[in-house]
């Protein structure tokens, strides 16, 4: 199981979103996400989030708020535990990202962007400013088949 971080940078009611369209064999190609990535050996989630933000955006984060934990289970991708963050104070100049195109998106438009089907289960509470988000998502291929929020099943697809 891999450990990752995902952070949503917020400025003036807008979220910095990464449209994944540059990396070869990207399982998230064509989707919008926050910024983040895999934790390195010996790295804490906070250290990973700060490093990934700097690498992907050029921003140095001054505040980092852990919003929750998301577990992804899949029949074709490596299972993942993702630490979900937000940050509103950061310095530096936005630079080009080698994984995709970065753009500032109004908060009320974030949920309408192309994304993984299950992202709405953690994005909606994040957009509402909540912390303590706990989500578990199970995929068959790229299709969401189960979702639970706070331990309560909210979606189950039976075939």
| pLDDT-based confidence at residue 159 (cuts at 50, 70, 90) | low
Selected from 3.30.1950.10, 3.40.50.12500, 3.40.718.10, 3.90.79.10, the CATH number assigned to the domain covering 2-156 reads 3.90.79.10
d(CA 22, CA 27): 12
Q: What is the pTM of this model?
A: 0.95
| Per-residue confidence band for 25, with pLDDT thresholds at 50, 70 and 90 | confident
Distance, CA of 88 to CA of 129 (rounded, Å): 12
Reported as a single tens digit per residue, the pLDDT across 56-102 is: 999 999 999 999 999 999 999 999 999 999 999 999 999 999 999 99
Hey, where are the domains in the chain?
2-156
Whether the CB-CB separation of 137 and 157 falls below 8 Å is answered with no
**How does residue 27 score in pLDDT terms, banded at 50, 70 and 90?**
confident
């Amino acid at each position: 199981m891999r450990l990752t971080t995902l952070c949503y940078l917020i400025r003036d009611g807008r979220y910095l979103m990464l449209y994944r369209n540059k990396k070869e064999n990207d399982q998230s190609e064509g989707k919008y996400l926050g910024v983040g990535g895999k934790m390195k050996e010996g790295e804490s989630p906070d250290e990973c989030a700060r490093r990934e933000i700097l690498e992907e955006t050029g921003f140095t984060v001054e505040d980092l708020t852990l919003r929750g934990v998301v577990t992804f289970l899949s029949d074709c991708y490596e299972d993942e535990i993702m630490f979900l963050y937000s940050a509103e104070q950061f310095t530096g100049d936005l630079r080009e990202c080698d994984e995709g195109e970065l753009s500032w998106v109004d908060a009320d438009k974030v949920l309408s962007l192309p994304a993984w089907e299950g992202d709405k289960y953690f994005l909606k509470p994040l957009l509402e400013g909540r912390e303590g988000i706990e989500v578990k998502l199970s995929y068959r291929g790229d299709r969401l088949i189960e979702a639970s929020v706070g331990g309560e099943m909210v979606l189950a697809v039976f075939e």
